[in-house]
């Protein structure tokens, strides 16, 4: 075992391939508060749910509707699958002149550039030309040619994305660049939803967009905490471990929910921007961090960096922890020491 390997707590879990996050509690009462769950709704290409503490159903419904409306707005703006969304439109012309963007998109781009620098380009929202090829491959079952891959690579690179924060504009240094904020927008939307719930007076809540989860305030679990299960995506209700969280977020990136299969081989939707190829080493990455936007960006970052570099990065960051599983040994969870305090011990 390597020096680093020894540092992590390695837990063997047989027959469990990869993990997804699931929520353990639906509806409970605590200190005269009831917890209300919205049920799963389709949003941002995945399923979203909100749980709130409220004094009655009417108040809960108000909280839930407000948060969903806000998340829809973010999706309308940042959905690069929609050719008419502002983010798609800006990608068409930003090589010609600076394009005005919303304060929200400025924030998302700024945070993205921070993670690009931190990861030396492993995380990169200019990966759009490469994810376009991946999406085409998923549809047609045909791999892109070497020429197409090298053409796409030449359009990718965060250093070619020029953000003018003061004037709120974005410019591309090269034609054909394309922004894809799919690895960070869900976390960002979760944080905004939590903010509006708190502003409206919710004393506790949890927002979950496709496994990007943040909880705040009073929860339904023991000690008012929120209990979140790390579960096997292939077996319903098979929980690998339980996390006890408060004022924290957790996000999971994996190769099991979105992938393309060609010639019996599976290709993850997470791309290494340098090679334009799908990542292979990690089957599942869960990151725990105070903000959902950071957990989201980091779970993708670690997926690209791989176990050694990825976990080393997580250990350098304050209040941040990770649980990963490799494709080679999918039954084994590897945790950074920071995870310990969140794991529920039965
Ligand atoms: P999910 O969308 O399943 O929650 P992620 O948060 O890991 O998973 O985001 C993956 C998405 O991010 C991909 O579908 C793609 O749109 C985009 N993406 C892929 N590779 C990268 C990368 N290296 N850096 C930034 N974004 C990426
Ligand atoms: Mg992500």
What size, in residues, is the chain? 346
The H or E element containing residue 109 is helix 103-118
Q: Return the pLDDT at 199.
A: 98
Q: How confident is the model at residue 229 (pLDDT cuts 50, 70, 90)?
A: confident
179 pocket-lining for ligand 1 (C-beta < 6 Å)? no
Neighbours of 127 (CB within 10 A): 31
For the whole model, what pTM was predicted? 0.90
User: Which ligand is in closest contact with the Cα of 270?
Assistant: 1
How far does the centroid of ligand 1 lie from the alpha carbon of residue 46, in Å? 13
* Topology classification of domain 24-80+182-224: T-fold (3.10.520)
Q: Return the pLDDT at 15.
A: 20
**C-alpha distance from residue 281 to each of 54, 87, 306, 308 (Å):** 43, 31, 6, 10
106 Cβ contact partners less than 8 Å away, ≥ 6 residues apart? 163, 165, 168
Determine the Cα–Cα distance for residues 337 and 287; give it in Å rounded to an integer.
Answer: 12
Q: How confident is the model at residue 257 (pLDDT cuts 50, 70, 90)?
A: low
Determine the Cα–Cα distance for residues 7 and 30; give it in Å rounded to an integer.
Answer: 39
Question: Would you say the C-alpha torsion 34, 40, 42, 47 has a positive or negative sign?
Answer: positive
270 pocket-lining for ligand 1 (C-beta < 6 Å)? yes
304 pocket-lining for ligand 1 (C-beta < 6 Å)? yes
183 pocket-lining for ligand 1 (C-beta < 6 Å)? yes
Domain span(s) for CATH 3.10.520.10 in the chain: 24-80+182-224
220: which 2 tokens? 């339904």
Residues 262-297: tens digit of each pLDDT: 877 888 999 999 999 999 999 889 999 999 999 999
Atom of ligand 1 nearest to the CA of 271: 20
Percentage with pLDDT > 70 across the chain: 87
Ligand 1 pocket: which of 75, 182, 211 to mutate (most atoms within 8 A of CB): 182
Q: Return the pLDDT at 203.
A: 95
pLDDT over threshold 60, residue 149: yes
How far does the centroid of ligand 1 lie from the alpha carbon of residue 128, in Å? 10
pLDDT over threshold 70, residue 26: no
How far does the centroid of ligand 1 lie from the alpha carbon of residue 338, in Å? 24
């Amino acid at each position: 075992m390597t020096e680093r390997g020894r540092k992590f707590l390695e837990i063997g879990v047989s027959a469990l391939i990869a993990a997804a996050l699931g929520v353990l509690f639906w509806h409970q009462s605590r200190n005269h508060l009831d917890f209300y769950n919205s049920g799963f709704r389709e949003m941002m290409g995945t399923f979203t749910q909100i749980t709130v503490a409220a004094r009655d159903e009417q108040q809960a419904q108000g909280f839930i509707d407000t948060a969903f409306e806000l998340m829809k707005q973010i999706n309308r703006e940042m959905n690069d699958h929609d050719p008419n969304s502002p983010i798609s439109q800006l990608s068409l012309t930003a090589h010609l002149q600076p394009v005005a963007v919303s304060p929200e998109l400025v924030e998302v781009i700024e945070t993205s550039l921070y993670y690009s620098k931190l990861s030396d380009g492993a995380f990169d929202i200019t990966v759009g030309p490469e994810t376009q090829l991946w999406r085409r491959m998923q549809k047609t079952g045909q791999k892109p040619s070497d020429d197409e891959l090298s053409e796409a690579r030449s359009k990718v690179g965060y250093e070619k994305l020029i953000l003018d924060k003061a004037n709120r504009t974005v410019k591309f240094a090269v034609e054909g660049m394309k922004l894809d904020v799919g690895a960070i927008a869900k976390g960002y939307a979760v944080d905004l939803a939590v903010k509006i719930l708190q502003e409206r007076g919710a004393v506790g809540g949890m927002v979950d967009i496709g496994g990007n989860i943040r909880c705040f305030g009073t929860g339904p679990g023991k000690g008012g905490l929120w209990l979140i299960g790390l579960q096997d995506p292939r077996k319903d209700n098979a929980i690998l471990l339980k996390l006890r969280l408060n004022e924290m977020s957790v996000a999971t990136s994996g190769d099991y929910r979105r992938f393309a299969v060609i010639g019996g081989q599976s290709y993850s939707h997470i791309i290494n921007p340098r090679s334009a190829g799908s990542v292979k080493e990690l089957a599942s990455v869960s990151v725990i961090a105070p903000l959902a936007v950071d957990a989201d960006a980091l779970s993708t970052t670690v997926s690209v960096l791989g176990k050694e570099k990825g976990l080393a990065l997580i250990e350098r960051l304050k209040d941040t922890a990770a649980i990963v599983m490799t494709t080679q040994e999918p039954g084994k969870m590897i945790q950074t020491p920071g995870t310990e305090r969140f794991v529920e011990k039965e």
